[in-house]
A and B are shown apart, each in its own frame.
Chain A
Amino acid sequence: MREYVAELYKTVRRPAVWVCVLVLLAIAITIGYAVPWLAETFAKTTQGLPPGTTLADLKVTLYPQNFVINTLGDPLGGVFALILGVLLQGSEYGWGTVKMLYTQRGGRVAMLFGKLAALATVVVLMVIGLFAVDAASSVGAALLDGKSIEFPAASQIVKGIGAMCLIFAFWAGFGFILATLFRQSAMAIGLGLAYALVIEGLIFGLGSALISSLKNVQQWFPIANTGYLTDSFGSVNIRGIRPPAPPFADATHAVLVLTTYVVVFVVISAVLVRRRDVTN
């Protein structure tokens, strides 16, 4: 418990953590709501839209009844969780504070779990913050357009927060283990971003065009499972646009796979932290 309180003490004082969270929230408002609303309100062309679909039809994604789906569809949130995971662990190696931490009273494993608990707390608060600003933005969009304010059922919102917490936990854990493995931040962020933005997408994007059975392999990979989980919340019905095909695997499968990844990350991090010499 002492370790958890201490980790929170330094985490809340760290400007980089606040920058990370606030930039994510700012992007969620601007890219998720403000820019689409402006484009769908003031654009003069409907080029690229199916026949019969207007820009106003697209706005339905911005209203409160769809804010959970819209929030889960945020493509960048995971990247910020990854960066947080890297920052909380990797900087200890960069600053050399790891030797100071491990010579305090609790020892290495207690320090690790204190840090993971603090990271989990930040991730949960970040997700709640994201849902809060998205909900507020959706209310703003509805008010501006004179639409009624109807939120999804509370159970749907809670499930959405839970799903996003799991997705962010995966990314934060991925960043954490990369930082632990490489004992630094730069390499961990570089590799983490490469995986998040390129590697898995490229492998299965190109591969599935050549090998049809690759979907069976992809179902065990993390980004695919974050997709299955978010897709399990359904899609927004937009007039004239066909809803996407149902996900390859269901939410239960996605939850199990992502949870397994998180547990594996924690176990490997604990083994590395416990066994490795601190020489820097």
Chain B
Amino acid sequence: MATTTPDAVVTTHGLTKRYPNGIVAVDGLDLVVRRGEVYGFLGPNGAGKTTTLRMLLGLIRPTAGSANVAGGSPGTPASLTKVGAIVEAPAFYPYMTGYDNLRLLAIYCGVPVKRVDSSLDAVELTPRARHKFSTYSMGMKQRLGIAAALIKEPEVLILDEPTNGLDPQGMADVRKLITELGQGDRTVLVSSHLLGEVEQMCTRIGVIRKGKLVAEGTIDELRGKSKLLIRAKPADQAMAVLVGECGADKVKANDDGAFTLSVEPARAAELNRRLVQAGLDVTELRETERSLEDVFMELTGTESGL
């Protein structure tokens, strides 16, 4: 179970969603998102990310467990007042302009209408604000969605796959915007199945697979410690030297004849010297780092979204 800290803004305890057909979309999820962080909720398609976010917004009722979002139960006015969200594709009224759609939300939320202009400015949509939503491109719709999420000046932003359907420039723009929005005290919880995206935007990551949280931490924590890769000839003698220096449990022979050593990279010079002193030819010696992609595939057993 995740430990609730005083600065936790989003917490779930054993959150579970089981559909009547028996499918368990989310299975005993324990999650803690702290104030001021950009938390990446990472998982392959169908892992339960959207169901979780919908439960955090009160759109879906959990079958078990509990959640607290910005000091209130999901879907209650106490929580909704402080939360801005985009769930999947942003949805607005197609017959109204972007401005009118945001003004409508300002009325719903009871916030000053002047926030409409500042929200539109924040997403650089002011020039198209007076055009009908139905004429917007996918990127503009997404940006309007973010503007709508911002109109309450929320403490917590919950964004479900905010770059879905965008072209590379649009994706870059949205990532930059989310990074900016996450500065200061505002907390951003963003789901994605795109590793690169999460790596660029997020300070901490939770990886979900088949409805369960399988890993959580900073990107560095998830990658784990760096290792050394050594290639030396003859390989059997190199193996003997390395095992003697580091211990058998720290040396792994790779299929391509190289060795991966689970030791501090600072030992590179020393190990090189030992191998040379033993009369071996060292052809490669470098520090290796697991990519987030490796970690993701290892944790989720998939290749989706890569």
Contacts and interface: CB of A to CB of B under 8 A. Distances in A.
B22 interface: no
A101 B80 CA distance: 11
A166 B100 CA distance: 32
A103 B59 contact: yes
Given A95-B91, A103-B83, A2 B96 contact: no
Interface residues of B, number: 33
A3 B60 contact: no
Given A104-B109, A279-B54, A9 B85 contact: no
Contacts of A2: 107-110
A103 B80 contact: yes
A9 B107 CA distance: 9
Interface string A256-280: 0000000000000000000101110
Nearest to A279: B60
Contact of A10 (B77, B83, B93): B93
Contacts of B76: 107
Contacts, number: 89
Contacts of A14: 93, 95
A15 B96 CA distance: 10
B162 interface: no
A125 interface: no
Contacts of B81: 105
Say what secondary structure dominates the interface of chain B.
loop
A239 B170 CA distance: 75
A102 B110 contact: no
Nearest to A91: B93
Contacts of B96: 10, 13
Contacts of B83: 103
A108 to B, nearest CB: 7
A148 B228 CA distance: 106
B159 interface: no
A13 B95 contact: yes
Contacts of B299: none
B253 to A, nearest CB: 50
Contacts of B94: 95
Given A100-B91, A104-B109, A277-B60, A9 B75 contact: no
Nearest to A110: B77
Contacts of A203: none
A97 interface: yes
Contact of A105 (B80, B100, B104): B80
B90 to A, nearest CB: 8
27 contacts: A2-B107, A3-B108, A6-B108, A10-B96, A10-B104, A13-B100, A15-B95, A95-B93, A95-B94, A96-B89, A97-B92, A99-B59, A100-B92, A103-B57, A103-B80, A103-B87, A104-B105, A104-B108, A104-B109, A106-B80, A108-B75, A275-B61, A277-B54, A278-B54, A278-B59, A279-B54, A279-B59
Interface of A: 2-3, 5-6, 9-10, 13-16, 95-97, 99-108, 275, 277-279
Closest 3 CB pairs between A and B?
A: A96-B91, A6-B107, A278-B59
